[in-house]
Amino acid sequence: MSNECKACVDHFDKLAFYHHDNMSGNSQNMTEPQGKAFHAKRLFNCWRYYKKKKCFSSRQGTTFITQYQANSYNNIVNKGQSYIYKKLYSNLDYNFSTKPSTKRQQEKRFERNCRRVCNNAGIDFATASREELLLASRCKSFLMTKLDRLTKPLLHLRYHKKFAYPLQVDYDFPIPTLPLPVIPAPIKEKPQPPAPSSSIDLFKVPDDLLAYIPDHPVYKGDIYNQLTDKQKAKLKPLQVGSKAWKQHIRALKSNKESELWIKQHDSQLREKAKFWNTSFDVISKRLGLAAQLTTLQDLQGEKALVEQEILMTPQTSNRNRKKVDKLKDKIRKLSPQIDKILSSLPSLKDTPYYITEEERALEL
Higher-pLDDT residue of 33 and 291 is 291
Higher-pLDDT residue of 195 and 268 is 268
Task: Compute CA 184 distance to the chain's CA centroid, rounded to the nearest angstrom.
Answer: 29
Q: Measured in Å, how far apart are the chain's first and last C-alpha atoms? A: 86
Q: How far apart are CA 280 and CA 355, in angstroms?
A: 10
Q: How far apart are CA 37 and CA 44, in angstroms?
A: 10
Q: Are 109 and 170 within 8 A, CB to CB? A: no
Task: Compute CA 218 distance to the chain's CA centroid, rounded to the nearest angstrom.
Answer: 33
pLDDT at residue 349 in the model: 45
pLDDT exceeds 60 at position 355: no
The region of weakest confidence among 41-45, 184-188, 269-273, 311-315 is 184-188
Confidence of residue 102 (pLDDT cuts 50, 70, 90): very high
Q: Which amino acid would we find at residue 285?
A: K
Q: Are 65 and 146 within 8 A, CB to CB? A: no
Mean pLDDT, rounded, for 4-14 = 59
Q: How far apart are CA 223 and CA 220, in angstroms?
A: 8
Please give the mean pLDDT across all residues of the chain: 80
Using DSSP, state whether 298 is helix, strand or coil: helix
pLDDT exceeds 70 at position 186: no
pLDDT above 70: percentage of residues in the chain: 79
pLDDT at residue 351 in the model: 46
The region of weakest confidence among 70-79, 161-170, 243-252 is 243-252
pLDDT at residue 195 in the model: 45
pLDDT above 90: percentage of residues in the chain: 23
**Residues sharing a CB contact under 8 Å with residue 18, sequence separation 6 or more, in sequence order:** 1, 2, 3, 28, 29, 30, 31
Mean pLDDT, rounded, for 67-95 = 91
Q: How far apart are CA 108 and CA 100, in angstroms?
A: 12
Mean pLDDT, rounded, for 82-87 = 93
pLDDT exceeds 50 at position 354: no
Tell me the residue ranges of DSSP E strands in 47-117. 52-57, 62-70, 85-94
Can you give the pTM of this predicted structure? 0.44
How many other C-beta atoms can be found within 10 angstroms of the C-beta atom of residue 160? Answer: 10
Confidence of residue 70 (pLDDT cuts 50, 70, 90): very high
Containing 52, the helix (H) or strand (E) segment is strand 52-57
